Amino acid sequence: MIGSNVGVNAKWISTIENVIADKISRLKATINTHQKTSPSFNTYDYANLQQEHVELKACAFFQPSHRLLSLIWNILLTQKCPDLNQILSLKPQDLGKLSI
């Protein structure tokens, strides 16, 4: 991604400290188990996360753009990387937006 306006800002969090992600992964597994036996089982409303975990109040939710989703689906379906020029032409606003 050298020369691109798009980048990744991430850091590693130990699984012991990442209680919220652990809870979410277990919720998803529980929901999938129930859906196999009962299709009417409601899925978890992730909007409740900020209510259940006060420390997430300052966080925003990322809503991927149609362009980004299209790129991801194209990669998955064709199992090919997109053209480098297409990636280099992306601007941060092309990826989506953060919402509160």
pLDDT at 79: 94
Residue pointed to by tokens 């409303």 = 45
DSSP 64: E
Alpha carbons 4 and 14: distance in angstroms, whole number: 30
CA nearest 52: which of 61, 44, 62?
Answer: 44
Domain ranges in the chain are 10-58, 60-100
Alpha carbons 23 and 87: distance in angstroms, whole number: 34
Q: Does the pLDDT value for residue 33 go beyond 70?
A: no
How do residues 40-85 score in pLDDT, each as one tens digit?
A: 455 667 778 888 888 888 887 888 999 999 999 999 999 999 988 9
How do residues 9-25 score in pLDDT, each as one tens digit?
A: 788 888 788 888 888 77
pLDDT at 26: 77
Q: What is the mean pLDDT of residues 82-100?
A: 87
pLDDT at 30: 55
pLDDT at 38: 52
